Amino acid sequence: MSLAKFSSDFLMESFTLVDNLFINEHLPHCSEKQLKVYLYGLYMCSMPEKLNSMEEMCATLDVTEAELVAIYTDFEDAGLVRVVSRSPLEVAYCSFKRANQPPKKYKSEKWNDFNRELQELFHERMLTPNEYNEYYTFLDSVKMDRDAMLMIVRYCIDLKGESVRYPYILTVARNWASEGVRTVADVEKKLDEYEAQSEDMRAVLSALGRKSGAELEEKQMLTKWTRSWGFTLPAVLEAAKSMKGGKTFRKLDARLDEFYRLGVFTEAEMKDYNAHREHLTELAVRINKTIGVYYESLDHVIEVYTSPWLNKGFSEDALATVAHYCFLSGIRSLEGMNGVVDKFFAQGLLTVDAINGFIGEQVATDERIKKIVEATGRERSVTAADRNFYRTWSAGWGFSDDVILYAAELSAGKSYPTSAVNRLLSEWKARGVRTLDDAKRVGTASASATAARPSSSKNFEERSYTDDEIKSVMVNIDDLEDKDL
């Protein structure tokens, strides 16, 4: 915790200083988002820790985390910042004065020819000593031929005009150097690659709805997609076609990166994946609408819920049925429905018929239990305790419904009729009672009631269930784990 800090009103009334070197050397070449990020980040350097976060900047500037990382990576290449950490993102803004101090001195005579040829490429302005030093440092560090560097500078001027600044040029040179470009022959090969892909690039630009020419970064992306990642042009065009909303090279790069990680490389594979994805989206919307929830983005819903449910073997109609039952029983969240789905899965109930059959069995069982409760002289709904006792009496102790109903009739009017039924059935079990006739022979002498045998029909498909019946069963869904279906 800080001992002293600026108040919020002090910070709002103070100033954020921007170095003139940034305005002169970098600002003309920044995109709108890059400029916003640099200035807002500079402003955030003086903000309290709780307001100084990636989430805060993304929300304020309406940029994604991926865009923010990409922008600061470009700034790092230009020497404006140092990316301390990418996850979580932590950035240190660099001092221009320190950045402009040459790390070592170079003998001018050694660079005379290079200096002259470099200056000749710029007809409209004079290069500064600092610019020359940046080129010296780069060439010295990556061991690139000077003539190769001059070719890269000429290419950047042809692409951007003479207003292009050294940070951009050195970023291009650094990227090419990382691909092994060191000599004039290497540069010529790289330029030939760009020329050879001109028709492909026009096709990609058309698929993205772009009328302007391609930037150097975009040419590098196309090379990466087709040569490094192994996508064919038809696959790249299919990926572009499948995108929705504003289509950009950045978004297409992210889309192809997703396909690359999934091992989806061909046009046919992409079509299958996109069709399946669209199907998953429709199912997610259907389920969300049924249980009454809404998500603007369905990616998380598909990844965490819909897709795993289908992978377990549930049919789509079965999931829609479960969603309907969840809604009727007051379960109004995907996490709540996930719990119900897991319990149905544990019992192997994966189809509409299987799930409806289970619901039907539970409703029929509740009807039999209700008759037993009424036989004890009470009028109320069936409870979970009633179901547990009935399961013990029938499945555990082996009594038929008519014997249990007779015991209930004998217990009518007692203060605790359920306990009385338990004691009576326990006594009969010990004495080997199994049939209604056996029960009547050993029953209380004053008992004169006879029990009617309830119907054992299970033709559940010929009747519909009321909302109350479904709620009664679904509210006690935890019982599923103990059911012997």
pLDDT tens profile 416-470: 999 999 999 999 999 999 899 989 888 753 333 333 334 333 443 445 667 766 6
> Which burial class, exposed, middle or buried, applies to 49 when counting CB atoms under 10 A from its CB (0-12, 13-18, 19+)?
exposed
Contact of 265 with 259, CB cutoff 8 Å: yes
Q: Are residues 232 and 323 in the same domain?
A: no
Q: HSE (CB half, 13 Å, CA atoms) of 171?
A: 19
Q: Are residues 115 and 166 in the same domain?
A: yes
Query: pLDDT tens digits, residue range 318-334?
Result: 999 999 999 988 899 99
DSSP labels, 42-64 = HHHTTS-GGG-SHHHHHHHHT--
Q: Are residues 293 and 222 in the same domain?
A: no
Helix (H) or strand (E) holding 93: strand 89-93
| Tally of domains in the chain | 5
Looking at residue 425, what is its pLDDT?
93
Residue 448 lies in a domain: yes
Residue 355 lies in a domain: no
**Which of residues 177, 194, 211 is at a domain's end?**
194
Query: pLDDT tens digits, residue range 365-393?
Result: 989 999 999 999 998 888 889 989 999 99
Token pair for 47? 């903000």
d(CA 137, CA 155): 20
Query: pLDDT tens digits, residue range 70-110?
Result: 888 878 767 788 877 777 788 888 876 655 444 455 666 77
d(CA 99, CA 111): 21
Mean of pLDDT values over 397-426: 92
Looking at residue 7, what is its pLDDT?
59
Query: pLDDT tens digits, residue range 236-287?
Result: 999 999 888 789 999 999 989 988 887 889 999 999 888 888 888 999 999 9
| Torsion angles phi and psi, residue 315, rounded to 5 | -80, 160
Closest CA relative to residue 68, chosen from 55, 79, 49, 84:
55
What's the mean pLDDT when you consider all of the chain? Answer: 84
Closest CA relative to residue 376, chosen from 430, 437, 425:
425
**For the domain that residue 113 is a member of, what is the CATH number?**
1.10.10
Residue 304 lies in a domain: yes
Residue 2 lies in a domain: no
Residue 63 lies in a domain: yes
**Which of residues 303, 318, 350 is at a domain's end?**
350
Helix (H) or strand (E) holding 403: helix 401-410
Looking at residue 476, what is its pLDDT?
56
Residue 366 lies in a domain: no
d(CA 469, CA 359): 9
Q: Are residues 33 and 120 in the same domain?
A: no
Q: Are residues 114 and 174 in the same domain?
A: yes
Q: Give me the domain span that covers residue 73.
A: 8-99
Q: Are residues 91 and 164 in the same domain?
A: no
Which residue intervals of 292-315 are DSSP H helices? Answer: 299-301, 307-311
Looking at residue 320, what is its pLDDT?
94
Spell out the residues 6+ positions from residue 17 whose beta carbon is closer than 8 angstroms to its own: none
Token pair for 433? 């009672």
Judged against a pLDDT cut of 80, whether residue 51 lies above it is answered with: no
- The bridge status of strand 89-93 relative to strand 81-86 is antiparallel
Closest CA relative to residue 201, chosen from 174, 226, 176:
226
Judged against a pLDDT cut of 70, whether residue 12 lies above it is answered with: no
Q: Are residues 243 and 278 in the same domain?
A: no
Query: Which of the four pLDDT bands, split at 50, 70 and 90, describes residue 5?
Result: low
d(CA 287, CA 326): 10
For residues 2 and 414, the model is more confident at: 414
Q: What share of the chain has pLDDT > 90, as a percent?
A: 42
Token pair for 319? 């999931």
| Torsion angles phi and psi, residue 254, rounded to 5 | -65, -40
Token pair for 409? 């009739």
Residue 138 lies in a domain: yes
Q: Which residue has the tokens 């679904």?
A: 474
Please name the amino acid found at residue 376. Answer: T
Q: Are residues 205 and 184 in the same domain?
A: no
Looking at residue 458, what is its pLDDT?
42
Looking at residue 50, what is its pLDDT?
61
Q: What angle do CA 232, 238, 243 make, to 5 degrees?
A: 135
Q: What share of the chain has pLDDT > 70, as a percent?
A: 85
Q: Are residues 145 and 79 in the same domain?
A: no
For residues 171 and 443, the model is more confident at: 171
pTM listed for this prediction: 0.42
d(CA 39, CA 41): 5
Closest CA relative to residue 165, chosen from 224, 111, 223, 122:
122
Q: Are residues 190 and 203 in the same domain?
A: no
Judged against a pLDDT cut of 90, whether residue 159 lies above it is answered with: no
**Which of residues 40, 66, 99 is at a domain's end?**
99
Judged against a pLDDT cut of 90, whether residue 225 lies above it is answered with: yes
Residue 46 lies in a domain: yes
